[in-house]
Amino acid sequence: MVKDIQSKLELFAENAQVIRKGFAGQHALTRRMAALLYAREGLSADCDKIRQCLKLIKENTGIFSTFRGNMVLALSALLSLSPDPKMLFDNTLRVYQMMKDEKFRASEHLVIASYEIAAQCDSMRYNDAVVRSRMFYDGMKSNRFFQTGHDDYIYAAMLGLSDLDVAAGTERVDEVYRKLKGKFWDNNSVQAIAQILILGGSDDDTVKRVLALRDVLRAQRIKLDRSYTLPSLGILAMLPVDIDVIVSDIDEVRKALRGQKGFGSWSIATQELLLFASAIVAGYYARNLPDGALSATISTSIANIIIAQQAAMIVAIAASSTVIATST
């Protein structure tokens, strides 16, 4: 295993233990997400900074606010990594209201979509990004009514932040969706991976590469083509790295992570483990591309996509847990 990848996964595991102890009352998956966010930056988890941001959120939102939902710890971690958490949070609240004014519905996905816009562009461009996000969302909704919902808000925001033409981009998403439909069983995740590939400027060869990567992973009994992890195939397929190298690294990282404290089979599901393994591997190669500008762009895109994936997983699992709890 590459030394830098080994160091990153060890830092992630260490951060997970620190945050688990510091935020015992928070959802386990959000704690691990916060740990990954810090490890991605090569930093040890700072519970004091995260706690300050958690306090900031609670002091500026109502008790029933979606900002206080299952994603609150992850949002606190994101804010804590900013040089000016208060300004970023104020801007996030501002964008959130702008998105609601554009008829986006209040949800935890909208919270993260608002954060993405506030964090990724100048305040003078907020309105343009929000309007474009709505246009992308409406375009996807018109093409795939039943597959398009709250969990697409974050991807719509990323598309809105891009320089893609709305009409051409929406059509391209639908085109890639049709190429991949039937290759995977979860159509909602197929739409997510289609959005990811369009964000990465991928062509038909990348679509073929997604399927080739899936097959090599399957040969190693690594099932990265499930609901929550399917978008990871899109991330990995966009990297200019040999498929066999990617698969070997994923295999080594998932095994190494499984051996870390708090990552045993009783503590974390296989699909979540693979999500983190993919994030670590993708993050390493994105940051080490020869082209510095391209590396920065892909690193940012990957980080945003990973956040979108984990947000979808967290909200879905939390919702399922609530249904089970109320029915027993």
Sign, CA dihedral 233-238-242-246, equals negative
Residues contacting 66, CB < 8 A, separation 6+: 106, 107, 108, 110, 111
The 10s digit of each residue's pLDDT in 183-201 is: 998 888 899 899 988 887 7
pLDDT range class, residue 294, cuts 50, 70, 90:
very low
The more confidently predicted of residues 35 and 235 is 35
pLDDT in tens, 242-260: 999 999 999 999 999 999 9
Q: How confident is the model at residue 322 (pLDDT cuts 50, 70, 90)?
A: very low
Give the distance, in angstroms, between the CA of residue 175 and the centroid of all CA atoms in the same chain. 23
Q: 321: pLDDT confidence band, cut at 50, 70 and 90?
A: low
Q: Is the pLDDT of residue 312 over 80?
A: no
Q: Is 46 exposed, middle or buried (0-12, 13-18, 19+ CB in 10 A)?
A: middle
For the chain, which residues make up each domain, given as ranges?
Answer: 3-327
Q: Is residue 293's pLDDT more than 50?
A: no
Over residues 258-290, the pLDDT tens digits come to 999 999 998 998 988 998 999 999 888 887 665
What's the pTM? 0.91
H helix intervals, 102-203: 108-120, 126-143, 153-161, 166-180, 187-199
Q: What is the pLDDT of residue 89?
A: 98
List, for residues 73-116, the tens digit of each pLDDT value: 999 999 999 999 999 999 999 999 999 999 999 998 999 999 99
What would the pLDDT profile of 80-89 be if each residue is shown by its tens digit?
A: 999 999 999 9
Mean pLDDT throughout 152-175?
A: 93
Q: By percentage, how much of the chain surpasses pLDDT 70?
A: 91
pLDDT, mean of residues 56-61: 97
